[in-house]
Structure 1
């Protein structure tokens, strides 16, 4: 058998190293793309986003957001109640007209 030239050996080593790096990269991507891991990352991101939105830089709870959210909920409830009362009056007028 003939001896391989040093350039051939270097080329084979380079190819082997590249193949190993590619296999490692594919393994890492497979782990990252697993649905369980994607869900876990998204859950952690959502938790972090909620914490950042509800806490200040010192880690204390931001009450201003809860007051604003409470006011918004109260406003929506008020609009729903007023709208339902308006509809009830409208229906009562229509029933009164039909009964004549």
Structure 2
């Protein structure tokens, strides 16, 4: 029986150690999966991607890419203005047909 006690004690210690490790792992996963932390990681990744896309390794702006992005924004604004203008004109024509 004296041989069983050390192994029983060792098993109990192993169980306690495993339980503590599991609790620590669950705590870490809880912190990682918190929505606030997920959003913070996504923001950091987006900033890094933007900086990588718009800057050279020495830190200077990539003017060609900045110009392309600016042209795309201007194009979208122009398309939105044209679309809004056409919708307004269409609405005015329909309103004119309905009036007596």
Compute the TM-score of the two structures, normalised by the length of structure 2. Answer: 0.68
| Higher-Rg member (1/2) | 1
> Over aligned residues, Cα RMSD in angstroms?
2.7
- Aligned pairs for 1:1-80 (under 5 A) are 5-75=5-75
Provide closer, same or farther for how the CA distance between residues 62 and 24 of structure 1 changes in structure 2, counting only shifts above 3 A: same
Provide closer, same or farther for how the CA distance between residues 80 and 31 of structure 1 changes in structure 2, counting only shifts above 3 A: closer
Provide closer, same or farther for how the CA distance between residues 10 and 47 of structure 1 changes in structure 2, counting only shifts above 3 A: same
Compute the TM-score of the two structures, normalised by the length of structure 1. Answer: 0.68
Q: Which has the higher contact order (CA 8 A, sep 6+)?
A: 2
Alpha-carbon distance between aligned partners in 2 of 1:23 and 1:77, rounded to the nearest angstrom: 53
Unaligned runs of 5+ in 2: 90-100
Secondary structure, in 3 states, of the residue corresponding to 1:5? helix
Unaligned runs of 5+ in 1: 89-100
Secondary structure, in 3 states, of the residue corresponding to 1:59? coil
**How many pairs does the alignment contain?**
89
Provide closer, same or farther for how the CA distance between residues 32 and 75 of structure 1 changes in structure 2, counting only shifts above 3 A: closer
